[in-house]
């Protein structure tokens, strides 16, 4: 008689639970937890500004290499006016601004797209992870 308790557990893709906050340090988790309703946070995961955080708490946040950009990303792979993050209610959208190298959402080049918690936005060589306010989750 076989001992079923010694058999390895099989895992299937549907079994996996993903947490968009995996890989964050305690300070980043605290910053995300404290986000007020209607706001979001971009955390740089790759690029010269690795670890930098950008609060999205206005209706229009501009990203690019321009010194006055709300999300300032200083690298030649980033256009001066590269992309915009637009808030509509409690939702956010990213819009490319006819940049030379494009804007990517989860590895796919986009003109504009709605953002979800944990999405990865690539602007030039920078990869930023989008985190929405926990207060806005249904």
What are the boundaries of each domain within the chain? 24-136
Residue 50: the pLDDT is 84
Q: How many residues does the structure list for the chain? A: 138
Residue 120: the pLDDT is 98
Residue 81: the pLDDT is 98
Residue 111: the pLDDT is 98
| CATH architecture of the domain with residue range 24-136 | Sandwich (2.60)
Q: How far apart are CA 63 and CA 131, in angstroms?
A: 16
Residue 97: the pLDDT is 99
Q: How far apart are CA 91 and CA 121, in angstroms?
A: 15
Residue 137: the pLDDT is 73
Residue 66: the pLDDT is 98
CA distances in angstroms from 17 to 14, 41, 111, 112, 130, listed in the order given: 8, 22, 30, 28, 19
- pTM for the whole structure: 0.81
User: Over the chain (138 residues), what is each successive 10-residue block's mean pLDDT?
Assistant: 53 42 77 93 87 95 98 97 97 98 98 97 97 84
């Amino acid at each position: 008689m076989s001992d079923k308790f010694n058999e390895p557990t099989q895992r299937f893709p549907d079994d996996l639970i993903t947490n968009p906050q995996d890989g964050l340090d305690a300070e980043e988790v605290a910053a995300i937890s404290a986000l007020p309703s209607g706001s979001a946070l971009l955390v740089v995961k790759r690029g010269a500004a690795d670890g930098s955080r950008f609060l999205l708490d206005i209706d229009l946040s501009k990203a690019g290499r321009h010194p006055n950009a709300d999300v300032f990303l200083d690298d030649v792979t980033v256009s001066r006016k590269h992309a915009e993050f637009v808030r509509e209610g409690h939702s956010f959208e990213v819009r490319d601004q006819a940049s030379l190298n494009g804007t990517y959402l989860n590895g796919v080049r986009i003109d504009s797209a709605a953002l979800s918690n944990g999405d990865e936005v690539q602007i030039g060589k920078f990869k930023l992870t989008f985190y929405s306010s926990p207060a806005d989750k249904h």
